[in-house]
Amino acid sequence: MAERMNLVEVFSSVQGEGIHVGESTLFVRFAGCDLRCRWCDSPGTWQPSAHCEIETARGSGVRRRQPNPVSLAALLEALELLELAAHRWIALTGGEPLLQPEAVRALSLAVRGRGPRIHLETHGLAVDALEQVVAGVDLVSMDWKLASDVRRARDPSPGPVEDFHEAHTAFLKIARAAPEVQIKVVVTPASQAAELDTMAACIAAVDASLPVILQPVTPFGAVRERPRAEQLLALEAALSCVLEDVRVIPQTHPLYGAP
Residues at the site binding ligand SF4, with contacts judged by CB under 6 A:
33, 35-37, 40, 42, 45, 94-96, 123
- Residue 172 Cβ, how far from ligand SF4 at the closest point, in Å? 16
- Residue 241 Cβ, how far from ligand SF4 at the closest point, in Å? 28
Strand 212-216 to 35-37 pairing: unpaired
* SS3 track for the chain: CCCEECEEEEEEEECCCHHHCCCEEEEEEECCCCEEECCCCCHHHCCCCCEEEEECCCCCCCEEEEECCEEHHHHHHHHHHCCHHHCCEEEEECCCHHHCHHHHHHHHHHHCCCCCEEEEEECCCCHHHHHHHHHHCCEEEEECCCCCCEEECCCCCCCCCCCCHHHHHHHHHHHCCCCEEEEEEEECCCCCHHHHHHHHHHHHHHHCCCCEEEEECCCECCECCCCCHHHHHHHHHHHCCCCCCEEECCCCHHHHCCC
User: Which of 84/125 has CB closer to ligand SF4?
Assistant: 125
User: Which of 53/207 has CB closer to ligand SF4?
Assistant: 53
User: Which of 13/84 has CB closer to ligand SF4?
Assistant: 13
Q: Please check whether residue 27 is in contact with residue 88, taking contact to mean a CB–CB distance below 8 angstroms.
A: no
- Residue 121 Cβ, how far from ligand SF4 at the closest point, in Å? 9
User: Which of 55/143 has CB closer to ligand SF4?
Assistant: 143
- Residue 164 Cβ, how far from ligand SF4 at the closest point, in Å? 11
- Residue 113 Cβ, how far from ligand SF4 at the closest point, in Å? 29
| Strand partners of residue 111 | none
User: Which of 84/195 has CB closer to ligand SF4?
Assistant: 195
- Residue 43 Cβ, how far from ligand SF4 at the closest point, in Å? 7
- Residue 42 Cβ, how far from ligand SF4 at the closest point, in Å? 5
User: Which of 84/150 has CB closer to ligand SF4?
Assistant: 150
User: Which of 24/42 has CB closer to ligand SF4?
Assistant: 42
